[in-house]
Amino acid sequence: MPTITESPYRSDNVNWVTTVALVLFHVGAVAAFFYFDWRSVITAALLYWMCIGWGIGMGYHRLLTHRSYKVPKPLEYFFAICGALTLEGGPIFWVATHRVHHQRSDLPGDPHSPRDGSWWSHMGWILFGESKHNATEVMAKYAPDLGRDPFYRWLNTYHYVPMVVLGLILLGFGGLSMLLWGVCTRVVVGLHATWLVNSASHMWGARRFKTRDDSRNNWWVALLTFGEGWHNNHHAHPSSARHGLAWFEFDPTWLQIKTLSLLGLARKVQVAKVTSQPVAEDEAAA
């Protein structure tokens, strides 16, 4: 992987396409409360689990970025499509960004470090950073394994297509209420939950391991993201499919991977072997 010394995302200009899209989705999320019905809310909750739990946690992050386990290619592609439904970009963009983050975590070149400001780490880097969502050729340099796969190249360039298809299906079967809850509200909550891993989990929480960055274990971010908030554990053991390394660290994504393993669908599952729990410093949990 190329060494990153300056962030390829840094820019002083507003990314208007992304900004306008996010504003519209936030407006739609608020409007959803004027079209409340339980069927739409339940649908949104199930899609949230599928897209954040399967798409981001199991797919984009632990499978595609860190290769902490393997599954059959059709299931891998399915997880990637679920990831694209989060509006967080295509798989090559997401994986490349996260690999750069690990390489330069909380150092110059990190795409979203709180050392550049809490607002920047949460969503400023998306609004003002240089947009790379469709820059498949550029980002493939940092994720060459995905860049060699025609399916991932297509999905990265046209990552919005699954969202459009899902939106039309929800509108057709459930009307405006289903569209607003299943797309707008679900996407907005999912975006902020994932962004909290970048911001809150580098600012608040306990540090069990001595890592060179500011990563922390944050229980409430873990609840919102199906286990992704055990971030200090993850930075200490990035190739581990299990992030919640203690019995009290609830990690639903790991439980799902373990279930796939028991079913014979997941193999070569990597798990950190932690015999002790060295505390980096005396910090209270968030």
17 or 162, greater pLDDT = 162
- Which pLDDT does position 5 carry in this prediction? 38
The model's pTM is 0.91
What residues have CB less than 8 Å from 128, skipping those under 6 apart?
Answer: 11, 12, 13, 14, 15, 120
Residue 228 lies in a domain: no
Average pLDDT over the chain reads: 91
Position 129 pLDDT exceeds 80: no
- How much is the average pLDDT of 209-223? 97
Domain extent at residue 20? 16-205
- Which pLDDT does position 137 carry in this prediction? 81
Residue 279 lies in a domain: no
Residue 236 lies in a domain: no
Residue 260 lies in a domain: no
Domain count, the chain: 1
CB atoms within 10 A of CB 229: 30
Position 210 pLDDT exceeds 70: yes
- The residue among 132, 147, 159, 156 whose CA lies nearest residue 4 is 132
Integer Cα distance of 85 and 55 in angstroms? 8
pLDDT digits (tens, 9 = 90+) for 134-189: 677 888 888 999 999 999 999 999 999 999 999 999 999 999 999 999 999 999 99
Residue 89 lies in a domain: yes
Residue 284 lies in a domain: no
Residue 239 lies in a domain: no
Residue 285 lies in a domain: no
Position 233 pLDDT exceeds 50: yes
